[in-house]
Structure 1
């Protein structure tokens, strides 16, 4: 039965998410929102032009989109075989073993939570000048961050399709602004004609290519979250693959088009100097020159709402990972409960809101900078964590399909996942080698190795805990990566029934 739910024995909660709530477009909106396309173009792309002086940024996005497209082939094939809101945790458990699946699950919660926390700094910084110019409000950044926090916290407790409808409105407006800005840039080239120098392969064969690819790959963080909502879709086998490729395609087009159009509007030789001079105002400055001040102001507002959309998507994703791990008893079981009214991961959502709210208040008290101390550090750390998850999952996909006998193996086989795995590992190497530049810290900063070291420590602890569970709690260990099936087994144990999914031991009388 599609609407069947596994109820817990206590409280007005259940242990399964709502089914049949999301279609292809809604799931794609979540993934595109997490990509935060306008934020990437305004912040990351302009910074990349200024620091690397690379013209090949548009082509870098295209190449990274192609690599991730190869990754998606095996990823969505796994999603159809292993439907679980804790996507990375489930896939790695199947491919590389349950102990590593525990580690990946813990890193998933940390990485998406860090992304969410970092974007609250971006929200406060982006909203402050807009509200000052439009309404004359001169408030501290954290006031706007807490206002956005309240909106996200409330939506996190509502029906998932309501969140999807909010994202649909916000993402349509954000994408429209990017398309209009890009069209205006291409219609007003600095040298009288649109130049494709930045799309030439030779533009990548210059110093700084590593930083270029690192920025490009981090811009796509979020496309992989389509599988997180598989339990809430109308048809996971159709919805997840379609939404994944759709969101990846949209992000690739927006990034490549937006970054290329900026170089055309300023001129390829002047784009680096323009980015240095105008910084994150480059895109809006070009819009004001080509379209007028109203369009520039509208774009700044869409920048704010785009960050809010990303926060909504990050929150829902992190809450579902916490729910999935709580359901499998890899985190406190209280997190594996959903609201009886909305079937949202209520306790996971409340936990996310509590942590992010405490961090915002903490930075406000100590006087931290919302961009340098909150956005850059936390969002880069979270993006690195997600890239670690993607690379590990790419390896797991290869191993999973390689274990299938050749005579029974169907698409995607092993070759395509293997190519994707190589590309993802290379992208991870680019990010690790340029992490100080991405964090905007010195090469000797403790953050340079401290953040990767923290993830390594979490991974080791996760593997150790998985091995402990295998020996001391085989009942819990057996449910790792099972998703809704883990809730069913837990329910059987709670009500004193035998686990019908395990073979019964035959006994003999003397």
Structure 2
């Protein structure tokens, strides 16, 4: 019978124990939403979707994706009541499809979360440097601003999760306040009236709908991260599932409404053109045009702190994957070390920070003197790494949906057939479709034309990590059976 998972290589002392259970549903919701970064989505994701797709149906796309992800969350949440492990996808796939497949998922997840986190330094550095330069006249390089964020994230990462949660909660609350203010101003201005063009079928079911879904899913990345904190929540049987449902429902409705509001504020007939011309600056230009430069500046600052909150959230996620894999023996045991006083995954946090600093330096050196100018880290580091990460995480969610069906196959554990089979099956189909759409539209998503080496290399790195994990899992099964057999999720 399936019960709570037996952690592989159970901790023998506090240096390997992550489980100081302090997180509640509200704090976990804030951590989840921080990874999705509401203000970043409104300022960056929404205008980009309008510009690239040329369709007004972007808000409807968030609703459609929300339905798919709610279906995913049903089985995912049910499974979270039985399995608590910091390596969420790793543990879930291992329990439902087999240990070797779980190891494959673990390395794919580790690469994806690191890519997402590190890619965000590109846009964070650009946004922070641009704002400081505009207000002070100083020529601040993007990498210098990125390093400031790097230090903040690194220090929080080696402290107890409560501190990160408090910082993130304040930032997310302010983000919501700004987005709501933009929504209110948009409907107050409404140059063409409160149009519902965003929800007309002809503006959604048209050539480009695939790109709407491919771009839109990136806005939700991080909502699945609740399970990563399952060893640190006060009530492991309820907190993760509740927080996940609240987060995905709130994100879906909020994004759809805000994307619609921005369209109403700019005017449906002008939305595509304005988004194409201004891109991520659209929101701030819109606020400035309404006569309040101070509000626009505040929104700009909170856009930067929104990115910082997302960096913190994804850093914590990656650190906990390092920790889980080190504890289980998939990676060297040193990665399973935590702080004795704060139970933070110190080794995992430092490892993630090491990867981040290396890539910040690489992109800073390569981008020196680039013809792209200040936009270099956005067009390259941010766009390449974050879209590749979204590609990997969507694939993992589709696989996890199948794993849910496998996990409950022998024992339903009191869950209905809809939760055990129907919802995860529909989610697998929906997520699989989005995965294919991302692959088909990957050239557009990273800003290149046609099949270039980059279009092949980036997805190949992500999927290659999964294949390497499968090979490593087979190696462990054959050559280190004690380690392999200890990875039991029953």
CA deviation map 1:426-471 (0-9, x unaligned): 1111111111111111212112122222233222221122122222
Distance in 2 (alpha carbons) for counterparts of 1:106 and 1:294: 45
Secondary structure of 1:231's counterpart equals: coil
Q: Deviations over 1:296-349 (max 9, x none)?
A: 111110000000000000100000011000000101110011110110000000
Unaligned runs of 5+ in 1: 486-510
Q: Is residue 179–residue 254 contact of structure 1 (8 Å, CA) maintained in 2?
A: no
Question: Which residue number in structure 2 is paired with residue 360 of structure 1?
Answer: 360
Q: In 1, distance between residues paired with 2:411 and 2:238?
A: 23
What's the counterpart of residue 508 of structure 1? Answer: none
Q: Using the alignment, how far apart are the partners of 2:389 and 2:488 within structure 1?
A: 22
Residue 280 in structure 1 maps to residue 280 in structure 2? yes
CA contact (8 A) 1:109 1:322 kept: yes
For residue 19 of structure 2, give the secondary structure of its aligned residue in structure 1: coil
Shift, 1:111, TM fit: 0.5
Matches within 5 A, 1:118-157: 118-157=119-158
User: Do residues 387 (structure 1) and 388 (structure 2) align?
Assistant: no
Aligned equivalents of 2:349, 2:414: Cα separation in 1: 45
Taking structure 1 as reference, are residues 408 and 117 closer, same or farther at Cα in structure 2, changes over 3 Å only?
Answer: closer
After TM superposition, what 4+ stretches of structure 1 lie above 4 angstroms from structure 2? 5-9, 405-411
> Aligned partners of 1:88, 1:28: CA distance in 2, in Å?
19
1:298 corresponds in structure 2 to 298
- Range with bigger deviation, 317-326 or 211-220: 211-220
Tell me the TM-score normalized by structure 1.
0.90
Matching residue of 1:84: 85
User: For the Cα contact (< 8 Å) 2:38–2:255, is it kept in 1?
Assistant: yes
> Is residue 421 of structure 2 the alignment partner of residue 421 of structure 1?
no
Cα–Cα, structure 1 residues 407 and 137, in superposed 2: closer, same or farther, change >3 Å? closer
Partner Cα separation in structure 2 for residue 290 and residue 181 of structure 1: 11
Name the structure 2 match of 1:472: 479
**2:47, 2:281 → 1: CA distance?**
9
Count of matched residue positions in the alignment of Structure 1 and Structure 2: 475
User: Any residues of structure 2 matched to 1:2-401 within 5 Å, and which?
Assistant: 8=12, 14-191=15-192, 193-290=193-290, 292-367=292-367, 369-401=376-408
Distance 1:242 1:326 in 2: 28
User: Who wins on radius of gyration, i.e. which is larger?
Assistant: 1
What is the TM-score of this pair, normalised by structure 2? 0.93
Q: Which residues of 2 match residues 483-502 of structure 1 at below 5 A?
A: none
Cα offset for 1:176? Answer: 0.9
Counterpart CA distance in 1 for 2:293 and 2:270 is 23
1:120 is displaced (CA, Å) by 0.5
Select between 356-365 and 88-97 the one with higher mean Cα deviation: 356-365
Q: Which residue of 1 aligns with 2:6?
A: none
Deviation at 1:374, TM superposition (A): 0.7
Does the C-alpha gap of structure 1 residues 344 and 55 become closer, same or farther in structure 2, counting only changes over 3 Å? same
Larger deviation, residues 407-416 vs 103-112: 407-416
- Which residue is 2:447 aligned to? 440
Q: Distance in 2 between matches of 1:254 and 1:138?
A: 36
* Corresponding residue for residue 491 of structure 1: none
CA distance in structure 2 between the partners assigned to 1:294 and 1:437 by the alignment: 35
The answer to whether the Cα contact below 8 Å between 2:100 and 2:474 also exists between their aligned partners in 1 is yes
Consecutive unaligned residues in structure 2, runs of 5 or more: 1-8, 369-375
Q: Alpha carbons of 1:128 and 1:110: their partners in 2 closer, same or farther (altered >3 Å)?
A: same
Rounded to whole Å, the distance in 2 between the matches of 1:23 and 1:46 is 34
Whole-Å separation in 1 of the counterparts to 2:110 and 2:424: 25
Who is 1:494 aligned against?
none
Please state how far the C-alpha of 1:103 moved relative to its aligned partner.
0.6
Name whichever of 401-410 and 133-142 sits farther off: 401-410
Q: 1:117 to 1:408 in 2, by over 3 A?
A: closer
CA, structure 1 residues 408+347, in 2 after alignment: closer, same or farther (shift >3 Å)?
Answer: closer
Q: How many angstroms does 1:407 deviate by?
A: 9.2
The equivalent of 1:496 in structure 2 is: none
What do residues 79-129 of structure 1 show as CA deviations (whole Å, max 9, x unaligned)?
111111100000100111111100100111110100111000111100012
1:499 maps to: none
Q: Does the Cα contact within 8 Å between 2:404 and 2:420 map onto a contact in 1?
A: no
After superposition, the Cα gap between the structure-2 partners of 1:84 and 1:186, relative to the gap in structure 1 and judged at 3 Å, is: same
**Secondary structure in structure 2 of the residue aligned to 1:339:** coil
